[in-house]
Structure 1
Amino acid sequence: MGLGVLENRSHNQHVPGTVILAEKESNPVHNSGTAKHGTGKHKDIILTPQPSNDPNDPLNWPYYKKVLVVLILVYGSCLCACSTGPLLNASLFVLSQQFNRPIGDITVLSGYQLLVAGASGPFLSAFSRKYGKRPVFVFSSFACLIGTIIGSASNSYSTLLAARVIQGLSLAAYESLVFTVVGDIFFVHERGFWTSVMAFTLTCVSNLSSVVAGKITFSLGWHYLFHILNACLGLQIILLLLFVPETSYIRHDVFGQTQLEVENRQDNATPKEETEAYRVENVEMESTNVPVKKSFLQEMAIFTGSYSDDRLIPLVIAPIVSCANLAALWTIVITGTITSFYVAVAYVIAQLFSPPPYLLSAAAVGYMSVGPFIGGALGSIAVGLVMDPLTIWLTKKNNGVYEPEFRLVTCVFGLLCGASLFGFGAVSQSQGNIYIIDFMWGLTLFGTAFIIGPCSTYALDAFRGMSNEIFIANVMFKNFLFYGYSYFVNNWTGSAGPVPPFFTFGGISLGLVATTAIVYVFGKRYRSFWHAHNILDKAGINTHPGI
């Protein structure tokens, strides 16, 4: 048992996701002078996955280039996911009066957008698996731009609905594929921080956009929400076209193959000799056929070839089939459900605090999102600073062997989600101090950061080959939840008060966080089981075993 993670019953069987990461602390059998290592304080860390000798391999990109790619995609997520989703939250009361419709009808505008986001997910997943992520990001940004242009010109409920539906086509890629890009360009010991950056963007920036949107609606009118977003999207599309190359790469994981190959070798040589000989053999073979570095125009082509031999139809259903993996399903459910609870708060904030006794304006309703932004920011910073160092420390304590379950240790702080939802419901019901209510909303986001970041990194490391499908399935699940909420959360809160819905959400949060202990203890055994009974492979949908 490695620090509470149960070993698989067949100790000689390699379990995908389990790797030798800290060579100094590992057994001598794992030492290898040919494996590539990190630099500086990570010089004793074996790079996983092992980069090829191809200069076009995203793992070999200069670090500044990787950071630039991530920042441009983060900017895209801020616009196409974090801004479009909550764009109208602070304006619900204003729009309800202008269009002379119930506030629930205005909420459904966002609901339909999220429905489109969920429904389009499998198709974007299939296309990104087949032809790469770059064309999907480009399509998504342009879809957001077109929808936003329509929103700029809309003066009726039906036109605004059309704008929101077209914007919905942009959400899936910028909510899911951004996580898999982290796996494409960063090594295992670096992923925790960058996954936390993505999680921060998707959970916290949406609250900041509500602050800005409320002020814009109050000062300039809601049309300017779309006008300003148009200009920002134009800049993002230019940056995307010029500086974000394709990150998908057909990789032959030398390090992973080495571990599997050693297990199948005869016993006439020591394991250390077998491992070193095989690595040298692969490195020498690879070094004799080094591709030429692509030119700028080649690298920035929209389409760069096919990355899968599978037909599109099997790839479309792959996100649904991936839910047969119970650990993947758990990741989808816990992150999607807990995310949906803080979104439920955003749905009712204008309803609760625009009427008496609070009488908040659209701008003041928007300012309430400062609390969750600060809470989410602090949580994300804490996770980003702690997760990778803690994981490396646990790996060294485990004789240099990294288990993806180590990522889940920090999920214990996710219990704050449930506690703060109880507090939000109780204080809102008693019409208490608005700052305490906002603090509770912020505490919800603080706890959420300790769920989304670690669980997303766990999925990326434990099931790297099907991470596209897992994150797309997550987008489908949570956006369908959001769509459902748009039909009943406002009515439930209006008829029963804040306590019943938010006490329910808080109890579910506590229960879901408690299940993390089960996944931590039995996760490795389940990874071993899935490796032997991979339903996607049996269905003819190829996944890549590399981490």
Structure 2
Amino acid sequence: MGLGVLEDKHLSHVPGTALLTDVVGSGNCHRHGELNTSALRHGTGRDSDVLLVPQPSDSPNDPLNWSLLKKDLMLFFICIDTAVVGAWGPMITPGFVEMTSQFGISYNKLNGDLGYGILMIGLSCFVTNSMAVVWGRRPIFLLGNLLLFISSIGGFYAHSFNSLLGFRLIGCIGMSPFEVLVTTTIADIYFVHQRGVRLAAWGLCLSIGVGGGTIISGYIIQNLGWNWTYGICAIIFGIWIIVLFLFCPETAYRRDDSLNTDLGTGQENVNQITGRENLKKAEGGSAGTEDIVEVEIEAIDRATTNNTWSEKKHSYWHDLKIFHGRVSDDPFWKVLARPFMMLIFPQVLFSFFAYGLTTSWLVVVGSVLAQLFTAPPYNFTVSGVGLVSIASLIGALIGAFVSGPIADWIIKMMSRRNGGIYEPEFRLVLIVITFVLGGMSFFGFGWSLQEQDPWIAPVIFYGLQYFSVGFMTIAVYGYLTDCHRDKAPEAFAAINLRNIYSFGMNYFISDWISSQGPKEVFCIIGGIHVFICLCAIPMYIYGKRCRSWTSRVKIFEKVMRA
């Protein structure tokens, strides 16, 4: 048992489990027990004992071999884009009360009908994700920005509710790549021990957009009108199409299976080397853990030394091509169906409930801020409702700066204590923070509103929601990435079915609060949140066995190979 994670009794290498750190001994930092791991590539500086997972190839065009500056600059541009995309959805919510008068419809109908955009994001995720798996990430990012640019222009000139709704739906299709592909891109270009901070950066920018965007939009709506929120976004998306075209190359890359030390692929290469181990097993013996690690090291060494890379480093002008051909041989329709089938995987199903339902609460709460704070005793103006989001912005900022480094530190610390072996379940430890603070935030938010406490009380609890949920986001996305890195886009598309739940909640949350009161509503939400967090305990304990089960049972194999 590795730090509470139950060992599997069926596979020698469970996908997701990887040798991450050396066990220092005999004055040689590149050793794992008695095994020499010098053939494998390691990190640098204080991470010099950390093995790079996955192992990069020798190709100069492998994104894992890009300089850290190039990777971080690319992620920076994508994260800024993500912030604007995050703001684009809820930016008109401070003006909902004003818009109900303009269009002559009820608050609940306005909120519910615009909620069709959330449904559109959830459904279009499957299409844009499948396109990215087959044809690459770069063209889909550019397509998403183009659709958002077109819809923002349409939203600026829309003067009826139906035309606004139509352009919103087009824009929501453009938003869908940013629900899935940013985390997939992080998995494409960063190693396991580097992903926590980058996932936190993405989560921070998304939260800044969702929460902080309404701060600015409140003033825009009050002084210029809600149409101008779309006009300003159209300018930004127009500029960012050019930025992504110039600075964000394709990240999908095919490398030798033996280098994917976290996936358990390349087993054929290992088997060729381990003829002696098979003979040993036939004679009644068994290969120990160190034997398995040793032959995997040898397989990786052969993969890197036997391949003579004939390809030259691509020029900058080559990288500017929008389309680089197919990056997967799988038929499009099979990739399209795979996310639905992956919901039967225990780790994907857990992630769907843990991440999906928890983050859906944030969408739901944001959609009713105007209803809650424009009414007595608070009587906020439109810009005042927008300023409530300062709390979510602060919570997201602090959460990102704390959660990212903690996430990477935890997996390295736990791997060292586990004899150098990394288990994806180590990511789930972060959910402890979400369990405690998240529960407090939902209970406190509803209770303080019901008791009509001073505005600062519910606002603080609102900020605490964003702080705590950030830990859940990093834990779940990191866990799912490490469990199914080769199928990460499909897995992320599966858990983003949560948008359908958000859509349904939008339809009745306003009336539910009006009839039952905020205390009862948010205490129920808080109770569900606590239960979901507690489900992480059995997932942590049995997660490795679940990964083994889904990699060797035929029905799961068919899904992965579909």
Structure-1 separation of matches of 2:149 and 2:207? 22
- The sequence identity of aligned pairs, in percent, is 32
Structure-1 separation of matches of 2:406 and 2:560? 39
After TM superposition, give the deviation of residue 504 of structure 1 in Å: 0.8
Tell me which residue corresponds to 2:2: 2
Structure-2 separation of matches of 1:8 and 1:30? 23
Structure-2 separation of matches of 1:234 and 1:277? 50
Tell me which residue corresponds to 2:276: 266
Tell me which residue corresponds to 1:47: 52
After TM superposition, give the deviation of residue 33 of structure 1 in Å: 1.7
Are the equivalent residues in 1 in contact too, given 2:122–2:176 (CA < 8 A)?
yes
Q: 1:163 aligns with which of 156, 159, 167?
A: 167
Q: What pairs up with 1:94-105 in 2 under 5 angstroms?
A: 94-105=98-109
Tell me which residue corresponds to 1:424: 445
Tell me which residue corresponds to 1:58: 63
Q: 1:106 aligns with which of 105, 110, 121?
A: 110
Q: What pairs up with 1:346-425 in 2 under 5 angstroms?
A: 346-415=366-435, 416-425=437-446
User: What are the superposed Cα offsets for residues 26-49 of structure 1, whole Å, 9 maximum, x if unpaired?
Assistant: 743553221111111111111111
User: What are the superposed Cα offsets for residues 387-438 of structure 1, whole Å, 9 maximum, x if unpaired?
Assistant: 1012101100111011111111111011221221111111111211111110
Tell me which residue corresponds to 1:520: 540
Structure-1 separation of matches of 2:537 and 2:432? 9
- Aligned pair 1:322/2:332, yes or no? no
Tell me which residue corresponds to 1:545: none
Structure-1 separation of matches of 2:486 and 2:238? 33
Tell me which residue corresponds to 1:441: 462
Q: Which amino acid aligns with 2:65?
A: N
Tell me which residue corresponds to 2:13: 14
After TM superposition, give the deviation of residue 258 of structure 1 in Å: 6.7
After TM superposition, give the deviation of residue 500 of structure 1 in Å: 1.9
Q: Structure 1 residues 438, 111: CA separation in 2 closer, same or farther (over 3 Å shift)?
A: same
Q: 2:127 aligns with which of 98, 109, 123?
A: 123
- Aligned pair 1:296/2:300, yes or no? no
- Aligned pair 1:313/2:333, yes or no? yes
Q: Which amino acid aligns with 1:319?
A: P
Q: 2:484 aligns with which of 458, 463, 467?
A: 463
Structure-1 separation of matches of 2:67 and 2:384? 44
Tell me which residue corresponds to 2:304: 283
Name which of structure 1's ranges 529-538 and 482-491 shifts more when overlaid on structure 2: 529-538
Structure-2 separation of matches of 1:128 and 1:29? 43
DSSP 3-state at the match of 1:246: coil
Q: 1:198 aligns with which of 182, 202, 212?
A: 202
Are the equivalent residues in 1 in contact too, given 2:348–2:495 (CA < 8 A)?
no
Q: Structure 1 residues 201, 534: CA separation in 2 closer, same or farther (over 3 Å shift)?
A: farther
Tell me which residue corresponds to 1:148: 152
Tell me which residue corresponds to 2:33: 28
Structure-1 separation of matches of 2:247 and 2:170? 25
After TM superposition, give the deviation of residue 289 of structure 1 in Å: 2.6
Structure-2 separation of matches of 1:440 and 1:102? 28
Structure-2 separation of matches of 1:7 and 1:86? 45
Structure-1 separation of matches of 2:417 and 2:267? 21
Q: Which amino acid aligns with 1:4?
A: G
Are the equivalent residues in 1 in contact too, given 2:82–2:209 (CA < 8 A)?
no
Q: Structure 1 residues 308, 276: CA separation in 2 closer, same or farther (over 3 Å shift)?
A: closer
Q: 2:512 aligns with which of 492, 496, 517?
A: 492
Tell me which residue corresponds to 2:256: 252
Task: Work out the number of aligned pairs and report it.
Answer: 538
TM-score between both structures, scaled by the size of structure 2: 0.92
Structure-1 separation of matches of 2:300 and 2:62? 19
Structure 1: state its 5+ residue gaps. 543-547
Q: Which amino acid aligns with 1:86?
A: P
Structure-1 separation of matches of 2:418 and 2:559? 36
Q: Alignment RMSD, CA only?
A: 1.8
TM-score between both structures, scaled by the size of structure 1: 0.95
Are the equivalent residues in 1 in contact too, given 2:64–2:190 (CA < 8 A)?
yes
Q: Which amino acid aligns with 1:229?
A: C
Structure 2: state its 5+ residue gaps. 25-30, 281-289
Q: Which amino acid aligns with 2:521?
A: P
Structure-1 separation of matches of 2:186 and 2:111? 33
Structure-2 separation of matches of 1:109 and 1:178? 28
Structure-2 separation of matches of 1:362 and 1:97? 14
DSSP 3-state at the match of 1:281: helix
Are the equivalent residues in 2 in contact too, given 1:315–1:541 (CA < 8 A)?
no
Are the equivalent residues in 1 in contact too, given 2:199–2:474 (CA < 8 A)?
yes
Name which of structure 1's ranges 195-204 and 352-361 shifts more when overlaid on structure 2: 195-204
After TM superposition, give the deviation of residue 147 of structure 1 in Å: 0.6
Q: Structure 1 residues 109, 357: CA separation in 2 closer, same or farther (over 3 Å shift)?
A: same
After TM superposition, give the deviation of residue 373 of structure 1 in Å: 1.4
Q: Which amino acid aligns with 2:456?
A: Y
Tell me which residue corresponds to 2:499: 479
After TM superposition, give the deviation of residue 70 of structure 1 in Å: 0.6
User: What are the superposed Cα offsets for residues 342-401 of structure 1, whole Å, 9 maximum, x if unpaired?
Assistant: 222112110111122221111000000111111122112111121101210110011101
